[in-house]
Amino acid sequence: MRTTRSLRGRKPFGLWAAVLAWVLIVVTGMIVGTTGYVLIEGWNVFDSLYMTVVTLTTTGFREVHPLSPAGMAWTMFLSLAAVGIIFGTVGIVAEAAVREVSSGKRGQRLMTERIRAMKGHFIVCGYGRVGTLVARDLRAAGHEVVVLDVGEESLRRAENDEFPIVHGDGTSDAVLIRAGIEKARGLVSCIDSDASNVYVTLSARTLNPDLFIVGRAGDEGVVQKLRIAGADRAISPYTMAGTTIANMALRPRVLEFIDAALSRGDLAFTLEEVTVDDALEGSTIADLRAKKVFTLAISTSDGTYEANPPDSRVLRHDEHLIVSGSSEAVTALG
């Protein structure tokens, strides 16, 4: 039986391990060289250290004291050792650096740091057909997005689309934390499995009670289960597609107008949802109208809509306004 590992089976150095090995080799060389001059020439420690450093660094300064033949031999040995240290450690560090880059570890580390720096972003669980459209639309609206999936092919597509990615199951608390859920603004779970979407919603709501969660329901009956699990909104794409197609047939211009207004691209104004904060609290609908922002409806705390509120209506904290106006005027509301 072989008692040593083959060179091929040797565990490769990591980059930091290689740097540490280089430091240890240099320090060891300095200690050995200094000790040699002390024992051979009888010099003090400082002179011996100086001679060791100028020899190992191949700077070629003059000797601090005349050398004996044994001292000359020791100096030649240190010079040859220095060449081995320089070329050997450079090779080890270079190999470790190339291996780290080629293995993707550096990219993964940069990805992790990028996600950790995010705040107020969205997490999209599942990068299938629906998830791809959701992520792209969120980014088009100016939001940062982290894509979470278990499929290698889906993650490759997301990475090619320049989204930060997290490989893992969204039902795992650890995976959601890696995606920055504690600092996220919202989560959209659009996995192809209804059970997975329910579990993701439960986990996400537990980790961040203030998170806005949208869940995808493959079956209409799952919508209520997603609501119970903690989703703020639950949507069946198939039901929504049917409704959209019917509206397109019945009132195409209304639907096209709304889509254009929401896209902030084709029209000179936009439709937007605005939350009443400290700056807006106490203002009236007339105050908003003076800023060229028109309030179509107010979503109250009980979930109902107050359409066409009068100019005298006073805004209360945390109410949600459905407004229209130019992008500049709406954005100025904060």
Whether residues 137 and 223 share a domain: the answer is yes
The CATH number for 167's domain is: 3.40.50.720
Identity at 177, one-letter amino acid code: I
pLDDT at 110: 78
Whether residues 141 and 202 share a domain: the answer is yes
155 in a structural domain? yes
pLDDT at 145: 96
Whether residues 125 and 95 share a domain: the answer is no
For the chain (334 residues), the mean pLDDT of every run of 10, in chain order, is: 37 59 80 88 88 78 80 84 73 65 63 90 94 93 93 92 92 93 95 93 94 91 92 86 84 80 66 87 91 88 84 90 85 77
pLDDT at 1: 35
Helix and strand tally (H, E) in the chain?
13, 10
Domain range spanning residue 232? 118-240
CA proximity to 96, closest of 191, 7, 22, 174: 22
324 in a structural domain? yes
pLDDT at 266: 56
5 in a structural domain? no
Whether residues 301 and 220 share a domain: the answer is no
**Whole-model pTM over 0.75:** no
Distances (CA, A) of 329 to 268, 297, 324: 11, 17, 9
Whether residues 129 and 186 share a domain: the answer is yes
pLDDT at 93: 66
